[in-house]
Amino acid sequence: MTERVVIDNAHIATVDADDTELPRGHVVVAGNRIESVGAGPAPEGLEGVTRHVDAAGRLLTPGLVNTHHHFYQWLTRGMAQDSNLFDWLTTLYPVWARIDEDMTYAAALGSLAALATSGVSCAVDHHYVFPRGAGDLFAAEVRAAAELGVRFAPARGSMDLGASDGGLPPDSAVESTDAALAATAEAVDRWHDPSPGSMLRVAVAPCSPFSVSTDLLREAAVLARDKGVRLHTHGSETVEEEAFCRERFGLGPTDYLESTGWLGDDVWMAHCVHMDDSDIAKFAATGTGVAHCPSSNARLAAGIARVPDLLAAGVPVGLGVDGTASNEAGELGTELRNAVLVNRLGPHREKALTVRGALRLATMGGARVIGRDGELGSVEPGKLADLALWDLSGFRHSSIADPVAALVLGAAAPLTLLLVDGRPVVEDGRLRTADEDRLARLTRAEARRLARLAGLTG
């Protein structure tokens, strides 16, 4: 018999096409899918109900989708505290070049734990540092995501443009072009699951225009389309990147990426801060998506992405925390607020982004950006049961009448329940699938080991 979970009495923000909200609604989950959503209590006499949640004082939203991250950076948080992107990267590349499989596993657990406890049910990770002889780093993060039970979209990154070829990373941190392509193809063949309801979809993700050769960009795009997987990279993050592309290629980042086959509705790029009207029009015309990372852009003084203009043009936009070396909190829940605040500092001021617009970016927006809006991103019958039930009954939120405003504008809200594929991953604010104290010890030990190996401590 199909097992059912019934949630009653919740304020439901469905994030459907009409932004329907149900002030006292119910959701019935059957197996790993949403069976019904509606106003008032759930129908009586349902069979196979294993759990009945009274969600009074709670807000039910779709599970959040994090569209950009670098899990391994969990071990290098709090470093290069006052640097812009290029200085920050050149400080950290030599440290990252010492990571190994055990470190990557621990860092992935830490990153995923911070994501899940902030409402994320589906997470992208862009991993692009593969030191020789360091073990199977990609498998390590796949293992971590499976253990925690978070839906996963690992993007097999790569860098092949070392400093001796005019790139930004040191030669010790890059792979050869052929090795990067072969390992990327292998990762797709081994791990990518294209089936409906998939818990793991792999993307192809050379790192950035200043760390990857033109050949690798071109060949990676061909590879991804041959395998039927998506493409991800960084684009137009800083003025320094723009200057690098103009000097080396005679083109801005968007035109350069276009020349290598990197615009399309199977592509999404992180940041896209320094875009002119022509760049935005190209993204809109091709359906290329954007992972907006407001905290990281602020931390690295990158600038403010033109999210209102991107949305007005019809560009798909999701939210990302980015790697935790440039966003130490690693939480997506609070990134909704930061998206509202940062965008209101731009030219559109108070009209830049609404509270509900921020929730949409983090749910349907993200699902569309990673190509899964048919299955994820809204609370609707038939969709996968990835649901976040936020507890707004405590003193931090209870005096805010609008629950969506309480979530987006208020303090980081605890979760009563996070379901992923119908299974509980977070309950009453704590991870159910891992021991948080053990995780704290493990990640601290691995961060210290990395610091020692990189010569940062004795």
What secondary structure does DSSP assign to 61-130, as a single string?
Answer: EEPEEE----GGGGGGTT-STT--HHHHHHHHHHHHTT--HHHHHHHHHHHHHHHHTTTEEEEEEEE---
Residue count at the site for Zn ion (CB under 5 A)?
2
And the tokens for 12?
């439901």
Looking at beta carbons only, is 125 or 322 nearer to Zn ion?
A: 322
Q: How far apart are CA 85 and CA 437, in angstroms?
A: 33
Per-position x/- string for 215-254, each x denoting binding to Zn ion as judged by CB under 5 A, each - no binding:
----------------------------------------
Segment contacting Zn ion by CB under 5 A, of 109-117, 265-273, 335-343, 395-403 = 265-273
Looking at beta carbons only, is 5 or 124 nearer to Zn ion?
A: 124
Q: Which letter, b or e, does each residue of 22-38 get, where b requires 16 or more Cβ atoms within 10 Å of its Cβ? A: beebbbbbbebbbbbbe
- The nearest distance, CB 234 to Zn ion, in angstroms, is 5
* Subset of 267-296 contacting Zn ion (CB under 5 A): 270
190 Cβ contact partners less than 8 Å away, ≥ 6 residues apart: none
Segment contacting Zn ion by CB under 5 A, of 8-16, 41-49, 317-325, 368-376 = 317-325
271 contacts 232 by C-beta, under 8 angstroms: no
253 in helix, strand or coil? helix
Looking at beta carbons only, is 293 or 389 nearer to Zn ion?
A: 293
453 in helix, strand or coil? helix
Q: Which of 35, 125, 322, 328 binds Zn ion (CB under 5 A)?
A: 322
- The nearest distance, CB 267 to Zn ion, in angstroms, is 15
Residue 347 vs residues 272, 283, 307, 308, 383: alpha-carbon distances, Å: 17, 21, 11, 9, 37
- The nearest distance, CB 126 to Zn ion, in angstroms, is 6
- Beta partners for residue 419, in sequence order: 387, 424
Looking at beta carbons only, is 62 or 169 nearer to Zn ion?
A: 169
In the bound state, the residue with its beta carbon closest to Zn ion is 322
- The nearest distance, CB 383 to Zn ion, in angstroms, is 28
- The nearest distance, CB 207 to Zn ion, in angstroms, is 8
Looking at beta carbons only, is 32 or 90 nearer to Zn ion?
A: 90
- The nearest distance, CB 295 to Zn ion, in angstroms, is 12
The residues that touch Zn ion, with contacts defined as CB under 5 A, are 270, 322
